[in-house]
Amino acid sequence: MVKNIGFLFLLVLGWVRGGRAQYLTIHIDQSGSSDFKTIQSAIDSVPSNNSQWVCISIKPGIYMEQNSYNYPPMLKSSHPTIPAVAAKVIGDRMAFYDCGFYGVQDTLLDAMGRHYFKRCIIEGAVDFIFGAGQSIFEECTIVVNVGESLREGSTGFITAQGRSGANDSNAFVFKNCNVTGSGKAILGRPWRPYARVIFFNSSLSDVVVPYGWDSWFYANQVDQLTFAEINCYGPGSNTSKRVAWEAQLSQEMTDYFVNITNFIDVDQWISKQPL
φ, ψ of residue 84 in degrees (nearest 5)? -160, 125
Instruction: Report the CATH fold assignment for 67-263.
Output: Pectate Lyase C-like (2.160.20)
Contact 90, 11 (CB under 8 A): no
Residue 146 has what pLDDT? 93
Does residue 6 register a pLDDT over 50?
no
3 or 193, greater pLDDT:
193
- Inform me whether the pLDDT recorded for 9 exceeds 70: no
| φ/ψ bin of 234: left (φ > 0), alpha (ψ from -120 to 50), beta (otherwise) | left
Calculate Rg over the CA atoms of the chain.
19
Residue 3 has pLDDT above 60, yes or no: no
Q: Per-residue pLDDT for 4 more than 70? A: no
Most confident of 25-34, 67-76, 141-150, 210-219: 210-219
**Percent share of the chain, pLDDT over 70:** 85
For the cut 60, the answer to whether the pLDDT of residue 17 exceeds it is no
- In this model, does residue 41 exceed pLDDT 80? yes
Look at 142 and 20; give whichever has higher pLDDT. 142
- Give the total residue count for the chain: 275
pLDDT digits (tens, 9 = 90+) for 101-112: 988 999 999 999
Count H helices, E strands: the chain? 4, 21
Say whether 251 sits in a helix, a strand or coil.
helix
The number of CA neighbours under 13 Å toward the Cβ of 205 is 16
Are the beta carbons of 169 and 197 closer than 8 angstroms? no
Q: Band of the pLDDT at 177, cuts 50, 70, 90?
A: very high
Choose the catalytic residue: 110, 127, 214, 265.
Answer: 127
Question: Which of the four pLDDT bands, split at 50, 70 and 90, describes residue 12?
Answer: very low
- The active-site residue, picked from 106, 110, 214, 265, is 106
Q: How far is CA 176 from CA 146, 170, 271, in A?
A: 23, 19, 19
Task: Compute the distance between CA of residue 10 and CA of residue 116 in angstroms, rounded to an integer.
Answer: 10
Three-state DSSP class for residue 17:
strand
Alpha carbons 263 and 194: distance in angstroms, whole number: 17
Residue 199, CA distances (Å) to 46, 86, 95 in order: 34, 23, 19
Surface-to-core class of residue 250, CB atoms within 10 Å of its CB (0-12 exposed, 13-18 middle, 19+ buried): exposed
Active-site annotation holds for 267: no
> Does the structure show a pLDDT above 60 at 2?
no
Rounded Cα distance between 58 and 216, Å, is 38
The model's pLDDT over 45-100, given as tens digits with 9 standing for 90+, comes to 888 777 777 888 888 777 766 655 666 666 656 666 677 788 889 888 889 988 88
Q: How do strand 2-4 and strand 99-102 relate by DSSP bridges? A: antiparallel
Q: Is the pLDDT of residue 116 over 90?
A: yes
For residue 13, is pLDDT > 50?
no
Q: Is 106 considered catalytic here?
A: yes
